[in-house]
Structure 1
Amino acid sequence: MRTQVAIIGSGPAGLLLGQLLTGTGIDNVILDRVSKDYILGRVRAGVLEEGTVRLLDEAGASERLHAEGLLHSGFSLAFDERNHRIDLAGLTGGKHVTVYGQTEVTRDLMHKRESDGARTIYAADNVAIHDFGLNRPFVTYESGGRTHRIDCDFIAGCDGFHGVSRRSVPESAIGTFERVYPFGWRGVLAEVPPVSHELIYANHPRGFALCSMRSATRSRYYVQCSLDDRVEDWSDDRFWDELRRRLPKEDAEALTTGPSFEKSIAPLRSFVAEPMRFGRLFLAGDAAHIVPPTGAKGLNLAASDVHYLFEGLRDHYADGTMAALDAYSQRALQRVWKAVRFSWSMTMLLHRFPDTGAFGQKIQHAELDYLVHSRAASTALAENYVGLPF
């Protein structure tokens, strides 16, 4: 098989890149080691920046998003038993975010790709990347008891933190930077109305809590927990009781509880690999970087990577230039590190660490108090939350 761009990974980054390329007439094939049903079964966050929504518009996959997504013009920082609203729209000249689940973004992109007749190969075993340091790279995979080969001009590695793309790069050619956090998030999905119409990020002596939602009738809640905890250690009753303890009284009393239909414990890490380009191989999304979900940046960073990579590929096939592709890694990483810094700062501000202690709690309180009472500080927070330009 021959294509112009081989895309490894059919998560949002790979699917979004594929649709933008398809819309420009650039041939591409997507491969994934797992099934379509498995991908759609993964539950992920869904707070979308305006730039991400614009890219989905450009990809022709945003009709349902605009019909069902929830526009948010603010969120709350909860501490000292009170909610303190950050007015995103007022502080950023009218910008907002859209709450729309990542699974739904993936579903919409898959549907658009299928309707366009573009090719995706699922359950591709033993995917391997070859000769990406030369001008004739190719990808091999196994399916149906046979080994298949895809020759291409470029390879886009959009296959996540554990994927083959980054692992195919020689260790001597790549640098990694990592911070693993000493706690996790215990999360539940439940068919109950959200406690608030906007997100609540809570700092509490017992640990962090987050009140989020997927729709007006489906809520997503998290509490900070130990990495030693197991999902089965947390009954629904234990979770709801702990969440109430960490919220202001008005929210705790208004909280609607019910049986959860999805439970998880997620570890948190900050991770960056650089550069993000190796010859004809380009890394994008979680293949190149991971951020803790505290700042709602993971999916949006993947989208900005796709934006820069798509621009480079579009320009190359339009007039043969490699300038934007040569600049891809530098342009992407400038935005990546700013988002990594923001997610790290939110994580440090809102969580209890083993060494936080009484002094650390006072520092967190002072910082939160400054953030909500200084317009300059609130503006900087809002600008980062709604998304820096790309």
Structure 2
Amino acid sequence: MSYDAVLWLSFGGPEGPDDVMPFLENVTRGRGVPRERLEEVAQHYQHFGGVSPINELNRTAIAAVEEELRAQGLGLPVYFGNRNWEPMVEQTVAAMKADGVRRALVFPTSAYGGYSACRQYDEDIDRARAAVGDGAPELVKLRQFFDHPLFVGAFADGLRAAHEGLDGARTVFCAHSVPVSADRAAGPPGEGGFRYSHQIAEAARLVAAEAGVGTYDVVWQSRSGPPQVPWLEPDIVDHIDAIHAEGTRSVVVCPVGFVSDHLEVIWDLDNEAAERAAELGMGFARVATPGADPRFAELVVELVREHVSGAPARKLSEFPAAGCTVNGAPCATACCEPAKRPATR
């Protein structure tokens, strides 16, 4: 099957102080998040001048992917669209239609399953095509890649580098937390391999094994929502307190749940977690995310070639390949259903 383009689909982020609150309102629309909570989160962005690094990181990665596509003889343009901030995916898909794109592959900037990490990108695709209407290009979303050897290898090299100079440091893998109910909703009954938390655990195992790390922990960060709703735990800062109490004197944090250094990495880890470790007198190092590694562009193009030229799907785990969809339809594994919410009156 032939394709005309690649759509790089991401979360989006503000690019100036005046963008911050409108962006957060987009992110939380329909969720009933109190204004004071938005203002609290807004301060994280204002700490960095109201600019999230995510859009610039995406542009840099897109340029690398375009170069790799050319190097491999695939003359596919790469379009950039976001869920929550400009360039909005609806506008991007409209531009693709105007440019004559009829069929495109979609790369979502998340390696994992789960509702917000996978299924919500299907909804973005469906919403954008509906907004464009007749003649909207067919959009085929690429699969999840948390167990791809290039993804694992980049993190493993970063983990080894972070351990240099920190003898005996405890390795802690970290990912964005989600509600426990959402995690349990993933996949058919008994298919734990579909769960986001199990994929994170598997990615951590693969990275640790390649880096030669025998002992490690898996923890979570960036939780939000009302405190009475259970989310995946323990939190990274709480865990630093716990391992310090056990006698650990240094820690290496690997943000295995993220592909690039966007705001939740540089705030929650480079600020909050690093500051807590410093307060406790602990050594601290944070592993680089793979988005700026040359292997990441190679990974994206490999995923493209699975569709363009039938390249074999390389993966290191026994977990089923999932996440590939056409025009936003749920994939065959049905692994990313949203958690059912109780009815309200």
TM-score (norm 2): 0.29
Structure number with greater Rg is: 1
- Tell me: higher relative CO, structure 1 or 2? Use CA pairs within 8 A at least 6 residues apart: 2
Return the structure number with greater strand share. 1
TM-score (norm 1): 0.27
